[in-house]
Amino acid sequence: MRAPLPSPARSPFLPSAAVATDPVAWLLDCHGRIRKVVGGVRALAGAAADDPRAAQTAQDCARYLRIGLPLHALDEDASLRPLLLRGPGAGAVERALDRMSSEHERIEAGLPQALDTLEAAAAGVLVAGPLVAGPLAELAGWLEGLLLEHIAHEEQHILPAASQLSPADLALLARQMRARRSPSPVGAES
């Protein structure tokens, strides 16, 4: 029996069908990717200098931080935030939104250096190992301390409020998130 033909490759910049119509699940899906990237950087910092997977891991992490993470921050700042601020629960979530947006600025400010480190690792200039892993370990610590704390705060204080938005606002949020990725630059997953 012949093996079935593979289904056409799904566009890499749109969410899976399971979360495409539920923007809160989509944002959580993005957080899953962020956790994977942070774990990837931590693994990279501890990898052997001659690990053949190191360059690909560094490239994958860099691509997400360069393209996917800024899209995710825009979803939250430019789409979700105004919807929450015009809703009946705005007072309760306003401080959490302010913290979210100021952390986005801190994260954005640190990204150029993070990308330099990962691109150097991908190019083999900076290979993991006891003598040269310092910048990667430092980057992993920065991501863990800022980014993981950031998404945990959002999951505790912001996404529960988002799930209370009206069906019309949730549909608008999903439309804006899709539009932001279309036409889709290669690798614009988030």
CA distance 110 to 95: 23
CA distance 45 to 130: 9
- Say if CB 30 and CB 68 are below 8 A apart: yes
Closest CB to Fe ion among residues 154, 189 = 154
Q: Is 154 in the site for Fe ion (CB under 5 A)?
A: yes
Closest CB to Fe ion among residues 29, 154 = 154
Q: Is 29 in the site for Fe ion (CB under 5 A)?
A: no
Q: Is 75 in the site for Fe ion (CB under 5 A)?
A: no
Question: Smallest gap, in angstroms, from Cβ of residue 181 to Fe ion?
Answer: 16
CA atoms within 13 A on the CB side of 70: 16
Question: Smallest gap, in angstroms, from Cβ of residue 48 to Fe ion?
Answer: 33
51, with CB counted inside 10 A (0-12, 13-18, 19+), is middle
Q: Is 189 in the site for Fe ion (CB under 5 A)?
A: no
Question: Smallest gap, in angstroms, from Cβ of residue 72 to Fe ion?
Answer: 6
Residues that bind Fe ion (CB under 5 A): 76, 154
